[in-house]
Amino acid sequence: MKLIGFQKVFDGRYLKNYEITYLNRLGKEKKYEIVSRRNLNGPEELGQTPSGVSVVAICEGRLLLLKEFRMGVNQSIYNLCAGMLEPGETVEECVERELLEETGLKLVRIKKILPPSFAAVAISDTTTYIVFAEVQGVPDGGRASANEQIQASFYTPDQIRELLKTAPFSSRAQMAAYYFTEGFR
């Protein structure tokens, strides 16, 4: 596989579309489309700058999950509290801000911040930090914008086991929820 071309084809407000031209294993020229949250000057910048955080938040033995409407799938799904890093913001500041904005909860402490990982590797170079945190408070709807529909709640392992049987999840939230039910806290 050899990359031979890289071009922006659309510049949206939040996503930028790029076309990658490459030679496949047989030497045949192929095209591939991706999106990025960033303006990229070339392929060497792909995946180099983390975009945001996803928070695995625990309070008194319960896992925080957000049930939120996602336009991309036209339905409500269970998700982790997550958001984009603002310019100059640290990971810790982003976690604190997103928890407050989306849930009204307060950060007690960060247990672990994993290195950035790819969020949708087949279509995007977006990377996010996975953050494990202890939080406190009662979810109150936070200060979500009028463009977001979020219902935050804490769930016990037994409640999550039931949700996992039929409820729609984001892949990260599903994985975190499953491991939470298995005692990984």
The answer to whether the beta carbons of residues 174 and 166 sit under 8 Å apart is: no
Q: Are 24 and 1 in contact (CB under 8 A)?
A: yes
Picking from 124, 132, 117, the residue whose alpha carbon sits closest to that of residue 50 is 117
Of 71, 69, 7, 77, whose CA–CA distance to 36 is shortest? 7
Q: Which of 136, 135, 133 is CA-nearest to residue 114?
A: 133
**Domain map of the chain by residue range?**
2-45, 52-181
Gyration radius of the chain's alpha carbons: 18
List the alpha helices (DSSP H) in 24-147: 91-103
- Tens of pLDDT, residue by residue over 98-109, are 999 999 999 999
Instruction: Please tell me the pTM assigned to this model.
Output: 0.91
pLDDT digits (tens, 9 = 90+) for 50-102: 999 999 999 999 999 999 999 989 999 999 999 999 999 999 999 999 999 99
- Per-residue CA distances from 135 to 39, 59, 84, 108, 165 (Å): 34, 5, 19, 5, 26
CATH topology of domain 52-181: Nucleoside Triphosphate Pyrophosphohydrolase (3.90.79)
